Amino acid sequence: MDLRIISIGTLAAHPLWGERGQARTGHATTTLIRSGDKAILVDPGLPEAALTARLGERANLKPSDITHVFITSFRPDTRRGLMAFDDATWWVGEAEREAVGGMLATRLKQIAETGDEHDSELIRVLEQDVAILRRCEVAPDKLAEGVDLFPLPGVTPGLCGLIAAHPRHTTVICGDAIPTIEHLEQGKVLPSAVDVQQAQESFREAVEIGDYLVLGRDNFVVNPLRKGM
């Protein structure tokens, strides 16, 4: 198995740096996992052109070489470059797919009931999200040899990471369950979590299992909080 970071992400506003308003354009950390005949790209957060360039720089691959894309959550900045991988199978966790689908349906129904013509741009965006979500298949429990789903709900209702198992160590791709090194070291979750208590439980599970962690908006790190490390 080959696991490597394609692009290191960033938060639009880092609360542990004292930022409150948007300080930059946020995007998720993008990870490539190659196992057997599968090339799985996780969280294509950069715009298509930038991500295509990074993929070539970091792995000597083209978008057509990617067989599967997995998104840890349906947030816009985890999937900004998704359309570059039209030939790939798109995966998302079942709980996230169901939660987002319900939210989109509710929002579109509310707009239809108000009949406000000024909502045309919002309707376009929501309908585009619906189309993307329909294209996304429910991810299997086992994505590839040595690569398994790891539900980490809380920041979003169905956020789902991955466990990449090696004979000597385990790597957890955390998504926004653990966004940055500061959050990891201070034991904190994002204040925007839909369920903070659940997010804290997911944080603890990721720390307990992972020898190495791929943080949602940061780099690949050794887990400093794991017992015995």
Euclidean distance between CA atoms 102 and 105, whole angstroms? 5
Euclidean distance between CA atoms 71 and 47, whole angstroms? 15
Domains and CATH numbers, the chain: 2-95+134-222 (3.60.15.10)
Strand ranges across the sheet with 2-7: 2-7, 30-35, 38-42, 68-71, 89-92, 137-138
Task: Quote the mean pLDDT of the chain.
Answer: 94
Euclidean distance between CA atoms 161 and 58, whole angstroms? 22
Structure confidence by residue, pLDDT tens digits, 61-108:
999 999 999 999 999 999 999 999 999 999 999 999 999 999 999 888
Residue 181, pLDDT score: 97
Residue 228, pLDDT score: 47
Tell me the CA end-to-end span of the chain in Å, nearest whole number.
23
